[in-house]
Amino acid sequence: MDKLLIQGGRPLRGEVAISGAKNAALPILCASLLTADPLELDNVPALRDIGTTLTLLQRMGVRAERGDETRVTLQADQVSSQEAPYELVKTMRASILVLGPLVARFGRARVSLPGGCAIGQRPVDQHIKGLAAMGARIRIDHGFVVAEADRLRGASILTDMVTVTGTENLMMAAALADGRTVLENAACEPEVVDLAKVLIAMGAHIEGHGTDRIVIEGVERLHGAAHRIVPDRIEAGTFLCAVAATGGDVTLRHAAPDTLGAVLDKLRDAGLEITTGPDWIRARMAGRPRATGFRTSEYPGFPTDMQAQLMALNTLAEGTAVITENIFENRYMHVQELHRMGADIEIDGHTAVVQGVEQLLGATVMATDLRASASLVIAGLAASGQTTVERIYHLDRGYERMEHKLQALGADIQRIQ
């Protein structure tokens, strides 16, 4: 398994290009199932999870070709199977995003239940509840979600909690349903908005995307479209935390600062000097960060996907930060690894109290999930001495060539097999 070897203590300087958003690309790739016409995508990041999704779609018969670097063209005019097998779904929970499109277009789907992951058991009961409300006959059978429907019909659906992929699955299903669907308590994430834009370009009638009430008037069929994936706000936030932790002066290109409001606020509180333009963010840091507490919540609040990264920054800050993780029940797997580097963090249920220390010491640490791995890289970049981050396949799921991007900014970081 690959590892990252980091010699810490070097400031980051220069420019870095932010890739397309993983969590927008995943549902948008699955939206190709909704039409027999070609879907042409640009700015698709080259990530493990994207590869897994393309493999899953190709197994079903979707023709999917990667053009140059970031272009992907998909066409679902010869779909032969409506099944998502366990061996693929267990590696990526987001495979559940084929469920809504399959039932909507083909009237049937057999999708393996994703099972839990390191950060929580991650149920999909709201996806199932919504499709049942739209008339799908849906049951759990030997670890699979099995769904059938003649034609889905519009419904009013209030999810028990805000669910990002739940909103995405139901919005895609509703696009081809007969009649009007209203999604209440809908997710407002920029990735949900990006999916809505693609569906509208494909001929769907959607309003309210970006708010907690989305209204979809179903249509008979959807046609092809071309779309450029929105920039990845979590990758951008991760690099900003790295600059705040190491010091330096970095400009992020192809970024979307308007999707990062809560993150930019917190990093400014921590002492990062930030200026922004329409598609760039410049971050400068001198001196020690200030402790900055936060609570994770649904968009536009502080994103749970940035919790581990801002915690890593707080381990070095002046003062004490209180962090509360409100979205997932077990998203502190990075804490024991940060302890190995000398961090002073106390966990009490959903709350972590971080007492900043003068210096972290390089150590061998293990990645447990995608964003935990990112927080260990940030800590390693700032620590004194050498840090080895193991099991970085987790990192590769959500970050495109992170070590290359960091090397270009002056970091001493190598990937070793």
Helix (H) or strand (E) holding 13: strand 12-17
> Cβ closer to ligand EPZ: 74 or 285?
74
Q: Is 125 in the site for ligand EPZ (CB under 6 A)?
A: yes
Amino acid at 139: R
Nearer to ligand EPZ, 37 or 191 (CB): 191
Length of the chain (residues)? 417
Binds ligand EPZ by CB under 6 A, chosen from 144, 239, 294, 328: 328
Would the CA dihedral through 276, 281, 286, 291 be positive or negative? positive
Q: How far is the CB of 28 from ligand EPZ (least distance, A)?
A: 11
Name which position in 14, 115, 120, 277 contacts ligand EPZ (CB under 6 A): 120
**Residue choice 6, 12, 252, 327 for contact with ligand EPZ (CB under 6 A):** 327
Give CA–CA dist 298/318, Å, rounded: 28
Task: Give yes or no for residue 154 binding ligand EPZ (CB under 6 A).
Answer: no
Q: Which stretch binds ligand EPZ (CB under 6 A): 6-14, 29-37, 70-78, 116-124?
A: 116-124
d(C-alpha 175, C-alpha 164), whole Å: 17
Q: Which of residues 59-98 bind ligand EPZ (CB under 6 A)?
A: 94
Query: Rounded to whole angstroms, how far apart are CA atoms 41 and 364?
Result: 39
**237 is a contact residue toward ligand EPZ (CB under 6 A):** no
CA pair distance 284, 10, nearest whole angstrom: 14
As a dihedral over the C-alpha atoms of residue 2, residue 383, residue 232, residue 286, rounded to 10 degrees, the angle is -160
Site for ligand EPZ in 344-383 (CB under 6 A): 370-371
CA–CA separation, 23 vs 195, rounded Å?
A: 10
Quick one: how far is CA 1 from the chain centroid?
23
Catalytic residue among 30, 117, 188, 241: 117
127 binds ligand EPZ (CB under 6 A): yes
CA 219 – CA 172 distance, rounded (Å) = 11
Q: Of the candidates 398, 402, 406, 409, which one interacts with ligand EPZ according to CB under 6 A?
A: 398
C-beta of 161: minimal distance to ligand EPZ in Å? 5
Among 37, 194, 232, 305, binds ligand EPZ (CB under 6 A): 305
Least distance from ligand EPZ to the Cβ atom of residue 193, Å: 13
Chain center to CA of 293: 22
What number of helices (H) and strands (E) belong to the chain?
Answer: 14, 24
In the bound state with ligand EPZ, the residue whose beta carbon lies nearer, of 99 and 327, is 327
Instruction: Note whether 26 binds ligand EPZ by CB under 6 A.
Output: yes
Which CA distances in Å does 357 have to 134, 273, 291, 362? 54, 22, 10, 14
164 near ligand EPZ (CB under 6 A): yes
Q: Confirm whether 188 is a catalytic residue.
A: no
- Per rule CB under 6 A, is residue 138 in the interface with ligand EPZ? no
* Separation of alpha carbons 301 and 298, rounded Å: 5
Residues acting as catalytic residues:
117
Contact positions vs ligand EPZ (CB under 6 A): 22-23, 26, 94, 120, 122-127, 161, 163-166, 304-305, 327-328, 370-371, 398
